[in-house]
A and B are shown apart, each in its own frame.
Chain A
Amino acid sequence: MPERVAKTGNDAAAYALKQINPDVVAAYPITPQTELMHKFAEYVADGDVDTEFVQVESEHSAMSAVVGASLAGARCCTATSSAGLALMWEILYVASGSRCPIVMPLVNRALSSPINIHCDHSDSMGARDSGWLQLYAENSQEAYDNVLQAVRIAEHPDVMLPTMATLDGFILSHTIEALEVNEDDVAKEFIGEYKRDYSLIDVENPSTFGPLALQNYYFEYKKQQIDAMDAARDVVLEVGREYGELTGRDYGFLDSYKCEDADVIMVGLGSTMGTAKEAADRVRSENGIAAGVLKVRCFRPFPASEIADALSGASAIGVMDRSVSFGLGGPLYHEVRSAMYGSQTPTADFIYGLGGRDIPLGDLKDIFVQLDEIRKEGKAEPDVRYVGLRE
């Protein structure tokens, strides 16, 4: 029987790592990921896992060590946040280019400068072009479920790409919630054995990884990565369905809440979407606004046509961005806009929560009210709005 337990997001992700029992974990501490690795270090010390746990001197080395271990044929994990992910950046590309199916919980945190330890999505958004799959969690349950599924998705022979499963720093990582965890053998069976077609050192199939490829072959390598990312679409859905049959919790690209009859829809990522659902219910009953919420669970590969479908009935759309691409605007907004190419539906970008600025229920209700005005006016002006900013 699955068990209902109380865990922080960090503990939930660590528990998933325990059940994965990776061959190798290499990590360096950073707030707010720290407790995740403390917990995992305890599992190692108590003999609950057989993992080779390497405490390296930086995130750059952590990612390099798991790339090495992955090429040597091991199932590998690490975890980080913020500056740690930024320092890994060079090796993120090496990991995806070398087709290492590394799984990494990423506890989202803002980037310096100024220094800030709280949640926004600048870290993962900065890595969105690095060839990693990205799954976002609304709560600890999803964080746990996503980490387990990430292993299956990443290691699928059609995919073989690294995957990050993100959870919002502090908001999820440090908040205790009730969640359901699988029994160890159920989780183990779901994850299955890891098999790589090529690894160091297989004398039957001698191989070299990451060799020099210039104008002659580099492009073909990249096309293979593009194809693998495309192939991941089916795999994300297939694994989500299978996980649903096992646990009763289905997963796809998106989580659509009351969108079917909605006039105005809020699109976003992560924990804020939980509050947004509550806000949608409130404005439905208090303001008579037919509000819906579209949560993007899988950001890479980007489910453009599914998003366009889910939003096709809306008369106004608000996209919530907890990060900014300076000189462009919110990254999710721009991707949603391009997914909606040709649509006349007025769409506004709500940039919010940078550096952990709180986004209470009232603000989200107010955004629905603004969306309702946009709907009535038939246009979104201004199209970029900053939530809770002092000016």
Chain B
Amino acid sequence: MMTDTATVIKTPLYKRPRCLTDEVTHYCSGCGHGIMHRMLAELIDELDIREKTIGIAPVGCAVLAYNYIDIDWSEAAHGRPPAVATGIKRVQPDKIVFTYQGDGDLASIGMAETIHAANRGENITIIFINNGIYAMTQGQMAPTTLAGQVTTTTPRGRSVEEEGPPIKVCELLQGFERVRLLARTAVNSPENVRKTRKLLKKALMYQIEGTGFSLIEVLSACPTYWRKTPQDCSDFIENVMSATFPLRVFKDTGKGLP
């Protein structure tokens, strides 16, 4: 019988999410941004929130996110997405508002906004792409660069004495009482991608419920400025990066929060 194969072809398991545009992304091959965009697009479809979702695009490699995910977007100045998201959410509380930020944007120039939005417990979702580097501006040291890691501004490796150790955002925000969901994941393996998807879905659902500030930190590869192959990047996340940045749920306060 040949009907089996015919059925498989007719109902493909892997479809382009409705809200992912046809645009070819500018991301390098092996880059984590592409995986995260697709995941986000799938979740927006699945939760049926396309017509009420507003994204805040960062200044960073994901600056063109609005070309790829077909929802309403606003750009924010470098580091300011949580403040812009706060403004939008306060005016349109029924909309789903998320920021999509790199480590330079979120933990360097924009650290104050991050901390204060978390402390206020804004009902927004922050997707924090941690690739340990300022990629868009060509691979300089970020606050999350590992000790000893070579970057364009630390050609001899990050020195903890000079530059301090990497900043751990989840650990930092853990004690903030109005934070609802705080987790660190990675997109370096199918298993981790699935875990990330679950957590991101939960974060969005909490926001739909109207109950809280969520931040999902995603360890994500930058093959170009790590100067590694995509496979080596995955191994690096698995064996090296997650030793400094352990993958886990730091906080999930369930339904209790006002």
Contacts and interface: CB of A to CB of B under 8 A. Distances in A.
Interface of B: 59, 63, 75, 77-79, 108-109, 111, 134, 136-138, 140-141, 143, 152-156, 163
A41 to B, nearest CB: 4
B59 A28 contact: no
A29 B111 contact: no
B137 A30 contact: yes
A152 to B, nearest CB: 28
B108 A58 contact: yes
B140 A29 contact: yes
Interface of A: 28-31, 34-35, 37-38, 41-42, 45, 55, 57-59, 83, 87, 112-115
B137 A31 contact: yes
A35 B153 CA distance: 10
A55 B153 contact: yes
Given A55-B163, A58-B79, A83-B77, A41 B153 contact: yes
A54 to B, nearest CB: 8
A57 B109 CA distance: 5
Contact of B152 (A30, A31, A41, A58): A41
Given A31-B136, A38-B138, A115-B63, 6 more contacts: A28-B108, A29-B140, A38-B152, A55-B163, A58-B109, A115-B59
A28 B154 CA distance: 13
Contacts of A83: 59, 77-78
A259 to B, nearest CB: 41
Contacts of A38: 138, 140, 152-153
A112 B153 contact: no
Nearest to B74: A113
Contacts of A31: 136-137
Contact of B155 (A41, A55, A58, A112): A41
Given A45-B156, A115-B59, A55 B141 contact: yes
Contacts of B108: 28, 57-58
29 contacts: A29-B134, A29-B153, A31-B136, A34-B138, A34-B140, A35-B138, A38-B153, A41-B154, A41-B155, A42-B155, A45-B155, A45-B156, A55-B140, A55-B141, A55-B153, A55-B163, A57-B108, A57-B109, A58-B79, A58-B108, A59-B109, A83-B78, A87-B109, A112-B75, A112-B77, A113-B75, A115-B59, A115-B63, A115-B75
A57 B112 CA distance: 11
A57 B143 CA distance: 8
The 10 closest A-B pairs by CB, nearest first: A58-B109, A45-B155, A29-B137, A57-B108, A41-B153, A29-B140, A38-B152, A45-B156, A34-B137, A34-B138
A45 B136 CA distance: 22
A28 B109 contact: yes
A112 B63 CA distance: 13
A50 B63 CA distance: 37
* Residue from A28, A37, A42 with most neighbouring chain B CB atoms (10 Å): A28
A174 to B, nearest CB: 12
B75 A37 contact: no
Contacts of A58: 79, 108-109
Contacts of A55: 140-141, 153-154, 163
A150 B109 CA distance: 29
A38 B59 CA distance: 20
